[in-house]
Amino acid sequence: MPAPQDELHDEIFPSVPAPEPGSPWLAPADLEQHLYELSEADDAYAYLRAIAVEGLYRPVALHEKDPDAESSPLFTVDLPDGGKAAQVYTAGLLPRPHPAVVYEFVTLGALAEGCPDDVRILAVNAATPCERYFLTTDEERQVWTDLHERHHRAGGLGDRIETRRTGAPAPGPLLHGLACGAHLCFANGDPWNTLDWHGAGHHNEINRLAESWGVTSREEWLATQERLMTREVSPWYWDFVLGARVAVLAEVGPRLDPERWRECVEVTLRNRVVETGGPDTPHRPGDDPDLDDFVTAMRDLVGKVLRYEARFRADGLLPPDGFVRTVAAWDIGRASKMARWGRGARYATEAEMRTAVERVSRAAQSSYTSWEEFSAGYVLGRCLHFDEESFGAWYTDVLHAHRALTTDPDSPWLTVPFRTD
């Protein structure tokens, strides 16, 4: 079920005026800047090669779209000779989402294979400074197929910082909340600073939520977004164990005996059982095997956290005396992207997405004091969720993201202050 009462507006297709003669064009992203330069140089083959690598997006009227099918008719306009022209666009030029139109991802190879016979022209980025038009003859489409097979790699555009040069929110809670999703944006090669979210295309955004999150409706998106914001997706006991260390440090100072930490975890757990169950509730070791097993697991979690933090310090993710106070960032960072994924799937209205992103900003600033601290909390949460102390790709991939996001001059963490007040 799509989002109700979404805002109507006139930005259905991209429309970007050309720069004044002799003036440079500020393209929305690096790809469009490259395509503009290739258009100016009249290098059609290099232009095709660039879009073969990145892929394209095609508009689809929502009322014509089969919700269970990936393919829908190409949007076309009539030509004076009776033929048709199909419109496609690169990601940086996609307009603000409209309630009647969605954009689907399509490769140049798929266009070569599935272009209808009556489509005589492929219009790429029409009505923009980097527009280009291609005939759809059999010979031309064979070139598209060859370029696709040589250059396109599914999933090959991840592990990079993608920043929009135009159309981003002004500095403030919205931009900060978007930056909280930078780990996932880096991994997927998504632009981190846009609210005009189309993601991987409407159909792919729906599939992403269904396959990775079990979200198949607006109601399920709303529930999942709220659970992430209230930090109910991750197990409560991760932060319980971390909070026990903070409590002990407040009493004993900076030097902490791990056994003292474990004892605090156990005593607090057993006391809470008595508080919630009454004075006669079994709570001593041996009284309740299930409770004993849980206490043992929580004592073991202390050791797991200590081993992860030791690796984090060795890899520069934490300072030499640093530790993680909370893994709230694991849910908060994913909430930043969940807001946008919900928008891409059209489960969320624009207003709901904006509100969610601003909530993310407030939650991050209430839990952390810097991007580096936020990142360490996110990484530990991801490792506790997936890695099982293997220090495999679940750790090394996000470590790579952390290093890029804390050093690359284009990173949101070097351009957006952590405090917005």
The tens digit of pLDDT for each residue in 16-43 reads 999 998 899 999 999 999 999 999 999 9
Q: Given pLDDT bands bounded at 50, 70 and 90, which one contains residue 66?
A: low
- Grouping H, G, I as helix, E, B as strand and the rest as coil, residue 25 is coil
Q: Please give the Cα distance from 396 to 188 (Å, whole number).
A: 15
> Can you give the pLDDT at residue 155?
81
The dihedral over CA atoms of 313, 318, 321, 322, expressed in degrees to the nearest 10, equals -130
Burial (0-12, 13-18, 19+ Cβ within 10 Å), 417? middle
Residue 200 reports pLDDT greater than 70: yes
Q: What are the residue ranges spanned by the domains of the chain?
A: 30-151, 173-234+328-415, 236-314
The rounded Cα 96 to chain-centroid distance in angstroms is 18
Q: Are strands 119-124 and 84-88 parallel, antiparallel or unpaired?
A: parallel
pTM value is 0.94
254 torsion bin: left (phi>0), alpha (psi -120 to 50), beta (else): alpha
Residue 2 reports pLDDT greater than 80: no
Residue 249 reports pLDDT greater than 80: yes
Whole-number percent of the chain with pLDDT over 90: 84
pLDDT per position as a tens digit, 280-305: 666 778 788 889 999 999 999 999 99
- Would you list the DSSP string of 294-348? HHHHHHHHHHHHHHHHHHHHHTTSS-TT---S--HHHHHHHHHHHHHHHHHTTSS
